[in-house]
Homo-oligomer: A and B are copies of this chain.
Amino acid sequence: MAGNSFGKLFNLTTFGESHGMALGGVIDGCPSGLDIDVEAIQNELDRRKPGQSEIVTQRKEPDTVKFLSGIFEGKTTGTSIGFIIENANQKSKDYSHIKDVYRPSHADYTYDKKYGVRDYRGGGRSSARETVCRVVAGAIAKQLLKDVKIYAYVSSVGDISLNKPLNELDFSLTESNMVRCPDTETAERMIERIKEIRKEGDTIGGTVGCVIKNVPIGLGEPVFDKLHAELGKAMLSINAVKGFEYGSGFEGSKMKGSEHNDIFNADGSTKTNLSGGIQGGISNGMDIYFNVAFKPVATIMQNQETIDNQGHVVEMHGKGRHDPCVVPRAVPIVEAMAALVLADFYLINKLYH
């Protein structure tokens, strides 16, 4: 109810603040007998972790996951899986510059108004550090989904876009460059742009695309819990996300029905896929694809006017080590959230067969 749980059957509940003792979570509803590849989970965490390349924040966090329950002799037991990620350097920082100050376009003001109290150390619960738990659970969801392949990638940085048709993308290239764009030439331009932005002490937005292959037919519940509605919620719940579109998306709103309809092949597949793999809220076996918009990171290394909690106008200057552009590290988070949604619907769908 208070927003720290996701999923109905494959359910993740998380806790933890950016500078508390540890973050962690409980996965409830993971079927028993699943072989858990802990290395693969840690690998996903490494894709998300700070300090991994020169275009992301230079903070150092090992982000090592520790499983406390639910896995026995390498297999899930069907009981709840508890895990924690200890915060390596949660101590002894000086937060006096933000303790009483509301940073522009952060959650400081709204948290204080909602709760009357706030863990002001580096964003507390509103920090994107919270997504570390999503990546752990998403990695287990991926192992449950086995045959399903989820490929997220950076589709734009500022106004530099990846302008290739989806079927020409080679996702084996995504991890070959530090911005995670599966087109080498575009990747280079994106990296260049991020470096410039960082030098300016500024930040920039971007988009993450995602293609999901081998999705079984029948996932998604019609009416309120349509597959794309849950995917949309999942993506919009990631820090800094401003928009979600799937299939033909916003461009589709400009089209005619005669152009937009996906004509069937005899085997039930479709000649085009403007539906984005989902019809009536239910997967139809074609590739699912969607696009997620991220705003520029709010913490900039420039002077900004703002207010404190007494309503005084003050000047502040960003401190610390922050991402100039969030999308490269968002790629594994988008995949994790997609995996959580699919795992949940995969289990729900088993009910009715």
Residues of chain A touching chain B, judged by Cβ–Cβ distance below 8 Å, are: 1-6, 8-9, 11, 13-17, 20-26, 28-29, 31-33, 66-70, 72, 75-82, 84, 102, 104-107, 109-111, 113-119, 124-126, 130, 156, 158-159, 197, 200, 202-207, 217-218, 220-226, 228-230, 232-234, 236-237, 242-250, 252-268, 270, 274-276, 279-284, 293-300, 302, 304-307, 311-313, 347-353
Q: Which residues of B contact A267 (CB under 8 A)?
A: 311
Copies assembled: 4
Q: If A3-B224, A80-B2 touch, does A351 touch B351 (CB 8 Å cutoff)?
A: yes
Nearest residue (CB) in B for A155 is: B253
The 4 lowest CB-CB distance pairs between A and B, nearest first, are: A107-B280, A3-B221, A243-B245, A15-B82
CB atoms of B16 and A69 under 8 A apart: yes
A204 to B260 CA separation, bound complex (whole angstroms):
9
- When A4-B28, A70-B15, A284-B110 are in contact, do A256 and B125 touch as well, CB less than 8 Å? no
> Which single member of B218, B263, B298 contacts A104 (CB below 8 Å)?
B263
What is the chain B residue whose CB lies nearest that of A6?
B224
Contact A109 B268 (CB under 8 A): yes
A236 contacts B229, CB within 8 Å?
yes
9 A-B residue pairs with CB within 8 Å: A16-B80, A105-B260, A156-B254, A159-B254, A242-B246, A242-B276, A243-B252, A260-B298, A350-B351
Choice from B70, B81, B284, B296 contacting A260 with Cβ under 8 Å? B296
The verdict on A249 contacting B293 (CB below 8 Å), with A110-B284, A202-B256, A280-B126 known, is: yes
Given A158-B254, A280-B111, A295-B260, A245:B248 Cβ within 8 A: no
- A14-B26, A28-B5, A203-B256 are contacts. A229–B237 as well, Cβ < 8 Å? yes
Which listed residue (B15, B78, B230) contacts A80, Cβ 8 A? B15
Cβ–Cβ contact A32 & B84, under 8 A: no
Q: How far is the CB of A104 from chain B (nearest CB, A)?
A: 4
Taking A3-B221, A68-B16, A117-B32 as contacts, is the C-beta distance between A236 and B242 under 8 angstroms? Answer: no
**A17 closest partner in B (C-beta):** B69
B26 touches A13 (CB 8 A): yes
Could you tell me if A16 and B82 are in contact, using CB atoms closer than 8 angstroms? yes
Q: Using Cβ atoms and an 8 Å threshold, which residues of chain B touch A242?
A: 245-250, 252-253, 276
In the complex, besides A110-B217, A225-B237, 18 extra interface pairs with C-beta distance below 8 angstroms are: A2-B29, A2-B352, A13-B80, A15-B82, A20-B69, A68-B84, A72-B124, A79-B125, A110-B282, A110-B284, A113-B268, A113-B282, A126-B280, A207-B250, A237-B281, A242-B246, A242-B247, A242-B248
A250-B197 Cα distance, complex, nearest whole Å: 19
A57 → chain B closest CB, angstroms: 14
